[in-house]
Amino acid sequence: MITNKVILVRPYAFNFNIETAADNVYQVSPKKTSDEEIQERALREFDRAVESLRAKNIQVDVISDFDDRTPDSIFPNNVFVTFPGKIFISEMYTDNRNEEYDKILPQLKKILDYDRAEIVDFRNSDEKVLEGTGAVVIDRWNNICYGSLSKRCDKDEFLKFCHSFDLKPVYFRAKDKGTYVYHTNVMMMVGEKFAIIADELIVENKEEVLKSLRESGKEIISLNKEEFDNFAGNSLELKGEDKNILVIAKSAYDHLRKENREKIEKQDEILPVDVDTISKYGGGSIRCMIAENFFDIREG
């Protein structure tokens, strides 16, 4: 299952989030760059990303943030996840991220038909956390869910999520910079024909992950550390007119090894998008900015 419909949130005050920096080692704290300059750059990157997606006939619905309480609102895929006729709502790890859903809800209701939606709400679940499709990566063609366990991906919540949406659970642990990788989608993506993964970071259940990918028919594209560090794993496949489109950060595209780029191009058109400011200060890249809209897609 793949979609050409996505939802993005235009930031009001994007910046380095002190609360999330507690376990997101990929955020860079600003030194000489002002908050105003960071927001200005992020807005330019955001608007160009929307233009780039629409130019490929991707339907982009934009929600606008409206105050400075939520510096990470630009990453809505962590906050809610859509399935055919269903909406999942996440319990977030930090207080200011837990404010995002209620803020965007009135605008989200103009995009998704809440009157006929089945709502699966994991908020206030004994303070256990599962941050949407940041915490999990879903193979929607084979109904498999991958999760790198961390503070943002609690094992019990992961298994409950998989049970709620009839997904086969495949969980593991991965480490980088001396800590568990905070979001699964930082290190892997699963497309229709291939999977991109920084498998060298996996420290528990690596063979189970690779076996699952192979048995589901995916070509495994392994990332080296340089590719991973530039967010090559934080990419997303969307439905194009003639072939699927892999949306990837420009910095990641620039650092892809020739052989990996060629493997991807056998299947997909690659769409590089410049989100350097957002990646640097937010600790997430283009995939984190995109909430896929599967709500009106028929299953089967």
CB hemisphere CA count around 197 (13 angstroms): 25
For 215, residues 6+ apart whose C-beta sits below 8 A from its C-beta are none
Do 80 and 101 contact (CB within 8 A), yes or no?
yes
Quote the pLDDT of residue 26: 53
For residue 35, the tally of other CB atoms under 10 A from its CB is: 15
The model's confidence at residue 29, banded by pLDDT at 50, 70 and 90, is low
pLDDT of residue 221: 98
Reference 189, options 235, 231, 147, 146; nearest CA is: 235
Q: Which of 29-38, 86-95, 258-267 has the lowest mean pLDDT?
A: 29-38
Q: Is 134:288 a contact under the CB 8 Å cutoff?
A: yes
Instruction: Answer whether residue 27 shows pLDDT above 80.
Output: no
Does residue 6 surpass a pLDDT of 60? yes
Residue 9 in contact with residue 73, Cβ under 8 Å? yes
Distance separating alpha carbons of residues 22 and 245, to the nearest angstrom:
34
pLDDT value, residue 208: 97
Give the residue-averaged pLDDT of 185-193: 97
Which residue, 19, 8, 14, is CA-closest to 182? 19
Average pLDDT, the chain: 92
Q: What's the CA gap between 164 and 162, in Å, rounded?
A: 5
Distance CA 293, CA 260 (A): 28
- pLDDT digits over 209-238, tens only? 999 999 999 999 999 999 999 999 999 999
25, pLDDT greater than 60: no
What is the residue type of 52?
A: S
67 pLDDT more than 70: yes
pTM beyond 0.85, yes or no: yes
- Check residue 125 and give its pLDDT: 64
* Residue 72 confidence class, pLDDT cut points 50, 70, 90: confident
Q: Report the run of H or E that residue 234 belongs to, with start and end.
A: none
Reported as a pLDDT band with limits 50, 70 and 90, residue 33 is confident
* Percent of the chain predicted with pLDDT > 70: 94
- Bridge partner residues of 138 (DSSP): 145
pLDDT of residue 124: 79
Under the banding of pLDDT at 50, 70 and 90, the label for residue 260 is very high
Pairing mode of beta strands 219-222, 188-190 = unpaired
Is residue 5 within 8 A of residue 57, CB to CB? The reply is no
pLDDT confidence bin for 20, thresholds 50/70/90:
low
According to the model, what pLDDT value does residue 14 have? 77
Question: 3-class DSSP state for residue 199?
Answer: helix
> pLDDT for 142-176, tens place per residue?
999 999 999 989 999 999 999 999 999 999 999 99
Q: Which position has the token pair 């498998």? A: 199
The per-residue pLDDT for 19 is 58
**Which residue would you say has higher pLDDT here, 27 or 233?**
233
Cα separation, 221 vs 233, whole angstroms? 10
Residue 248's pLDDT is what? 97
Answer whether residue 299 shows pLDDT above 70. Answer: no
